[in-house]
A = this chain, B = another copy of it.
Amino acid sequence: MALIVQKYGGSSVANTDRIKAVAERVVATAKQGNKVIVVVSAMAGETDKLIRIAHEITDAPDEREMDMLLSSGERVTSALTAMAIQSMGYKSVSFTGRQVGIITDSAHTKAMIERISAERLVKAINEDKIPVVAGFQGIDESSDVTTLGRGGSDTTAVAIAAALKADLCEIYTDVDGVYTTDPRIVKEARKLDKISYDEMLEMASLGAKILHGRSVEFAKKYNVPLVVRSSFNYNPGTLIIKEDEDMEKIVVSGVAADKNQARITIMGVPDKPGIAANLFDAIANANIVVDIIVQNISSDTKATDISFTVSKADSKKAFEITKDVSDKLGAKGVNMNTDVAKVSIIGVGMVSHFGVAAKIFETLAKEGINIMMISTSEIKVSCVIDVKDTEKAVKTLHDAFNLAK
């Protein structure tokens, strides 16, 4: 007998028929002798509808009120799912984030979980009830409702699994698992049976939109085994766990592409200490996340060029800030290129295998793809390229590293 947390996303509970299908899956897991805890998202489209209504009221809705508003969607699904499980003859009970003791900080719309008491969950399980928890939400110290931001229900599920030392946390979505790359780009893309937390984190942050990074970080921190799988079929999915020896034999696990990138370059910056800090402080103060930074050694030894990437959404604001800094520093100018993409190769095996980077450069060069920026870590290599080359780069790298097997 295992304790399993199952999280169902918006597409998995999109309508009453889908909710009944979820109930069947939950009951099937319970029938196999497992204890099951269910976490649900809002029905697909509901959260967007509420956001739209709020913007009909005011252009800048208060974040505390947004949390009160948006948290209602998951409550609806939790009650309906509990009813569906009950109608199959099993005991079930819905809980809000508050009722299972999910206490967060007060950062409305993007709160962080501080602790979970889970008392009522334990009690329900001991009474042979199947608890259905409204995902995405908690309360802060003053008992105000908070939400956990994008991917929040995944975080709820992982946090509950961690608190109760669950044997497994299953994330049900509308894809079969984690692939070596986007199957819409490379039809030979292969579903991975398993992947390490770190690899998944790189995949998540690099634009593979399956699982939000925060939930993976949480799973890694508390060593919660995660499975990503589809609620529309019974395929086994992808297991996300601590890296093991098997994994290290596989050099590369996947190729990820992210077109939501812009590159900004500030040219001819006087080469003095503290210049970069100056620039990136100003950008950080605007809550903009900088991804890759490259400082070129300029031909002019008294000056340097600095290039960095930000998301497309932040690019306009980052460009303005950079121009201001450029003026103050007496740099030669600033330019921006929004027609760029970041292609990355991820794999825990890289750390012990030399030559991965070289193979990437060689492969891309052979296809005539120009590399604008490079960034490397122990388990990934990212290249910024022209956006028009994205699909070609992903295909050729997927092939070069033999990921289709």
Residues of A within 8 A of B (CB): 16, 19-20, 50, 53-54, 56-58, 61-62, 64-66, 68-69, 71-73, 75-76, 78-80, 82-84, 86-87, 93-94, 96, 98-99, 143-145
Contacts and interface: CB of A to CB of B under 8 A. Distances in A.
B84 A58 contact: yes
A57 B94 contact: no
Given A86-B62, A99-B143, A143-B99, A68 B57 contact: no
A87 B56 CA distance: 11
Most chain B CB atoms below 10 A, which of A61, A72, A98, A144: A72
Contacts of A96: 68, 145
A65 B87 contact: no
Contact of A80 (B54, B73, B83, B144): B54
Contacts of A56: 16
A80 B53 contact: yes
21 contacts: A19-B57, A53-B80, A54-B83, A57-B84, A57-B87, A58-B86, A61-B83, A62-B82, A62-B83, A65-B86, A65-B94, A68-B75, A68-B79, A68-B82, A68-B94, A69-B75, A69-B80, A72-B75, A72-B76, A75-B75, A98-B143
A82 B65 contact: yes
Given A64-B93, A68-B79, A96-B145, 8 more contacts: A54-B80, A57-B80, A58-B83, A58-B84, A61-B83, A62-B86, A65-B80, A68-B82
A-B residue pairs, 7 tightest by C-beta: A69-B79, A58-B87, A68-B79, A72-B72, A16-B56, A65-B79, A72-B75
The dominant DSSP class at the A interface is helix
B53 A16 contact: yes
Contact of A76 (B62, B69, B84, B144): B69
A94 B145 CA distance: 10
A144 to B, nearest CB: 8
A79 B93 contact: no
A365 to B, nearest CB: 55
A256 B303 CA distance: 91
A12 B266 CA distance: 56
A152 B376 CA distance: 61
Contacts of A64: 93
A26 to B, nearest CB: 14
A47 to B, nearest CB: 12
B78 A68 contact: yes
Nearest to A93: B64
A96 B143 CA distance: 10
B83 A65 contact: yes
A20 B57 contact: yes
Contacts of A76: 50, 69, 72
Nearest to A59: B87
Contacts of A94: 65, 68
A375 to B, nearest CB: 42
A122 to B, nearest CB: 15
